Structure 1
Amino acid sequence: MLENKINNRKSGVLLYGLTPPKLNTEEHKIKAIADKQIERISVLEIDGLVLYDIQDESSRNDKPRPFPFMDTLSPEIYNTTYLRELNLPKIIYKSVGKYSVNELNAWINEYAKNIDYSVFVGTPSNRLKSNLSLNEAYHINKNSVNSIRLGGVIIPERHYKKNDEHIRLFNKIDKGCHFFISQCVYNIDNTKNFLSDYYYSSLDNNRELHTIIFTLTPCGSLKTMEFMEWLGIDIPKWLKNDLKHSKDILLKSIEICKTIAEELLNYCKDKNIPIGFNIESVSIRKAEIDASIELLKEVKVLMNKYQYSAIVCE
């Protein structure tokens, strides 16, 4: 089960990621969306479900957003109100910058018993006013009467720019994070550079390696690719060219994601770095959602090949 794999820092975690429906969606439509998601996900052999807390990231990027931003239902409410029938551990993302100290503490006390894990995320940019820093949020959770088990975010692109993502990771471990979920991976070199520093830093400083869960996302159109790049996902030039000129961009992206997954499995197996995968679709198009399910099944086959297998939670 997910708890066992995380607590024992095992490889083989397989997750599926969802964004809750738009906030202004009518009640009966939310119920219909949730029912469809439950039907789709309940038959998957996965360890858990990731529910995102979407922020407007326009402050981080001066370019126009390819798709308009719209607020979504909070992931904890979507989980407790609409996804109760889905008998899987849930990892709830939470944007903490909008809360005061008292508000976050109240949120933790209200939802701690209903949330398996949470991933706290800070504000998208230093240009955006934040009521609470990520470090303050970690401190509040650690000292709360009803603390939540935490995971953290790692961003290979940030490691490429600052070369310190592994240091950030160990600092987050010290503040209570037990596992990490990456931003979507399309640049394998950035990712392996981070993993190399993470691994050798652990040896140099006698630190245990915690599980890294890499996010993979199919790309089914040039518009989706534009949006992914706007979000900060680094897609190398040669890869963009291959996708743009392919006869079937969606099929090509699935092949690329599988290649990335296998290369990461191979690299991490040699070094005993515990890893897993989180599969998502950044698009609401049915074809890309279906492709994410296909990709998840293909990644599970690859993990089985490397003797990593997901466990269906009873």
Structure 2
Amino acid sequence: MLENKINNRKSGVLLYGLTPPKLHTDEYKIKVIADKQIERISALEIDGLVLYDIQDESSRNDQPRPFPFMETLSPDTYSTTYLKELKVPKIIYKSVGKYSVDELNAWINKYGKNIDYSVFVGTPSIRQKSNLSLNDAYHINENSVNSIKLGGVIIPERHYKKNDEHIRLFNKIDKGCHFFISQCVYNIDNTKNFLSDYYYSSLDNNRDLHPIIFTLTPCGSIKTMEFMEWLGIDIPKWLKNDLKHSKDILSKSIEICKSIAEELLDYCKDKNIPIGFNIESVSIRKAEIEASIELLIEVKLLMDKYQYSAIASE
């Protein structure tokens, strides 16, 4: 289903995103975590699993990080070694800036046949040293014998500041990207502004629209919200106030995420903009993980309502 929807630029992609365990976690504990995730995710009606490659993003933010940065297992290792039994397509994030040309080329040749899709990401900030640009990484993949099918990242907050995210997107399409996954969405206006420019630019320049998969994340505490803002996620003041003063911040955030999903589905349906959703938890707290599963089920019901079924037969 995922390949069909991406290749045919269809709406309805539903993904679940997670972060691999911490790098120095005991081997036995990693297997326990993986087994629980396999059991949980196997029960979900999704098109694919997103595995993140976590970077230290301190270079783009002068404020103290709300949670300490801890390096994780590489998503490709976690996927191929610990999640082999999970029979869903996997989308592997890859932070390319820390690799040389030869290193990235070797990685593509090693994993190209075993990875369904990859999303290349650059360094968090121009202040951070980078061995390889995102454009160089696209070029290396394009010319590799075992080239990987690629997706890209879109950031509505960047569009608010620079008003060129739709141009970046079309440039990435020209370099091999077939779909795009957003940063977590809490500001619907920033997101709709991006979609509007994306849509009308496609009409003006006779370009195909490729699927945009919007990330939704439950927020279960003030500290989680502070961390999300630290990462660059824009949470409008009114919404932040509602969350802070809610008797149940987690339930309130699920309600807000559902509202955002429905508004995006409604906006994109009339314009035939192909969209989908990626549900994640930025916290390892059990309550927030369970909330992400609840949100995914609710979003699937919304997509079914709009005839965007994640597993419907073509």
Q: Which TM-score band (shorter chain)? A: over 0.9
Cα deviation code 1:139-185 (max 9, x no counterpart): 00000111000000000000000000000000000000000000000
| Matched residue, 1:239 | 239
Letter in 1 for 2:28: H
Question: Structure 2: how far apart are the matches of 1:38 and 1:114?
Answer: 18
Q: Contact 1:52–1:93 at 8 Å: present in 2 too?
A: yes
| Matched residue, 2:58 | 58
Letter in 1 for 2:178: H
| Matched residue, 1:134 | 134
Letter in 1 for 2:241: N
Letter in 1 for 2:199: Y
| Matched residue, 1:289 | 289
Letter in 1 for 2:296: L
| Matched residue, 1:309 | 309
| Matched residue, 1:171 | 171
Letter in 2 for 1:209: L
| Structure 1 residue matching 2:31: 3-state secondary structure | helix
Equivalent residues in 2 for 1:143-182, closer than 5 Å? 143-182=143-182
| Matched residue, 1:228 | 228
Question: Structure 2: how far apart are the matches of 1:124 and 1:183?
Answer: 13
| Matched residue, 1:104 | 104
| Percentage identity across paired residues of the two chains | 89
Question: Structure 1: how far apart are the matches of 2:61 and 2:6?
Answer: 34
| Matched residue, 2:300 | 300
Normalised TM-score (structure 2): 0.99
| Matched residue, 2:90 | 90
| Matched residue, 1:22 | 22
Q: Which runs of 5+ in 2 are unaligned?
A: none
Q: Which runs of 5+ in 1 are unaligned?
A: none
Letter in 2 for 1:201: S
Question: Structure 2: how far apart are the matches of 1:23 and 1:312?
Answer: 38
Question: Structure 2: how far apart are the matches of 1:281 and 1:208?
Answer: 31
Question: Structure 2: how far apart are the matches of 1:147 and 1:46?
Answer: 25
1:47 is the counterpart of 2:47: yes
**Once the 2 structures are TM-superposed, how far is the Cα of residue 198 of structure 1 from its aligned partner?**
0.1
| Structure 2 residue matching 1:54: 3-state secondary structure | coil
- Which consecutive aligned stretches of 4+ in structure 1 deviate over 4 angstroms post-superposition? none
| Structure 2 residue matching 1:97: 3-state secondary structure | helix
Change in Cα spacing, 1:47 to 1:293, as seen in structure 2 (3 Å) is same
**Once the 2 structures are TM-superposed, how far is the Cα of residue 137 of structure 1 from its aligned partner?**
0.2
Cα deviation code 1:108-156 (max 9, x no counterpart): 0000011000000000000000000000000000001110000000000
**Once the 2 structures are TM-superposed, how far is the Cα of residue 312 of structure 1 from its aligned partner?**
8.1
Letter in 1 for 2:288: E
**Once the 2 structures are TM-superposed, how far is the Cα of residue 311 of structure 1 from its aligned partner?**
1.6
| Structure 2 residue matching 1:147: 3-state secondary structure | coil
Question: Structure 1: how far apart are the matches of 2:103 and 2:244?
Answer: 46
Q: How many residues align?
A: 313
Question: Structure 1: how far apart are the matches of 2:53 and 2:220?
Answer: 23
Cα deviation code 1:213-232 (max 9, x no counterpart): 00000000000000000000
RMSD: 0.8
Question: Structure 2: how far apart are the matches of 1:154 and 1:227?
Answer: 20
Question: Structure 2: how far apart are the matches of 1:263 and 1:277?
Answer: 13
Cα deviation code 1:253-283 (max 9, x no counterpart): 0000000000000000010000000000000
| Matched residue, 1:75 | 75
| Structure 2 residue matching 1:120: 3-state secondary structure | strand
Cα deviation code 1:57-114 (max 9, x no counterpart): 0001000000000000000000000000000000000000000000000000000011
Cα deviation code 1:33-78 (max 9, x no counterpart): 0000000000100000000000000001000000000000000000
| Matched residue, 1:219 | 219
Normalised TM-score (structure 1): 0.99
| Structure 2 residue matching 1:151: 3-state secondary structure | strand
